[in-house]
Amino acid sequence: MTREAARSREATLGLRAAGSLIGVPAGEIVLRDEGTRTDWKAEVGSFRLAPHPVTRELYTAVWREAPVSTAGPRTPVTEVSWKDAVRFCNLLSEAMGLAPCYAGGDNPDAEGVVCDWEADGYRLPSEAEWEYACRAGSPDVRHGELEEIAWYRGNSGEQVHDVATREPNAWGFHDMIGNVWEWCWDLYDPRVYGPYRVFRGGGAYDPPRACRASCRRKSHPTLRIDDLGFRLARSGRGEAHG
**pLDDT tens-digit map of 59-108:** 999 998 888 888 899 999 999 999 999 999 999 999 999 999 999 988 88
Mean pLDDT of the region 32-45: 89
Comparing 7 with 213, the larger pLDDT belongs to 213
CA torsion, ordered 81, 87, 88, 91, to nearest 10 deg: -170
Under 8 Å CB-to-CB from 180, ≥6 apart: which residues? 53, 76, 78, 160, 201, 203, 204, 227, 228, 229
| Distance from C-alpha of 53 to C-alpha of 226, rounded to nearest angstrom | 14
- Model confidence band, residue 7 (pLDDT cutoffs 50, 70, 90): very low
State the average pLDDT over residues 10-25: 68
β-partners of residue 123 are 233
According to the model, what pLDDT value does residue 151 have?
98
Spatial separation of the C-alpha atoms in residues 172 and 26, rounded to whole Å: 16
pLDDT of residue 236: 84
CA distance between the termini of the chain = 44
Give me the pLDDT at residue 72, please: 92
Residue 238 pLDDT class (50, 70, 90 cuts): low
Helices (H), the chain: 3-16, 56-63, 82-95, 127-135, 146-149, 190-193
Cβ atoms 76, 180 nearer than 8 A: yes
Decide: helix, strand or coil at residue 47.
Answer: strand
The share of the chain scoring above pLDDT 70, in percent, equals 90
Q: What confidence tier does 15 reach under pLDDT thresholds 50, 70, 90? A: very low
Distances (CA, A) of 107 to 79, 92, 147, 221: 20, 22, 41, 11
Q: Where are the alpha helices (DSSP H) in 17-117?
A: 56-63, 82-95
Give percent of the chain with pLDDT exceeding 90.
80
Higher-pLDDT residue of 19, 153 = 153
With a CB cutoff of 8 Å and minimum separation 6, the contacts of 33 are 189, 216
Residue 94: how many CB atoms within 10 A of its CB? 14
pLDDT bracket for residue 27 (50, 70, 90): very high
Residue 30: which of 139, 173, 117, 126 has the closest Cα?
139
- Residue 237: per-residue pLDDT: 66
Please tell me the predicted confidence (pLDDT) of residue 19. 54
Distance of CA 16 to the CA centre of its chain: 15
Beta bridge partners of 29: 42
| Residue 107, C-beta contacts closer than 8 angstroms, at least 6 positions apart | none
The alpha carbons of the chain give a radius of gyration, in whole angstroms, of 17
- Spatial separation of the C-alpha atoms in residues 189 and 205, rounded to whole Å: 25
Classify 215 as helix, strand or coil.
Answer: coil
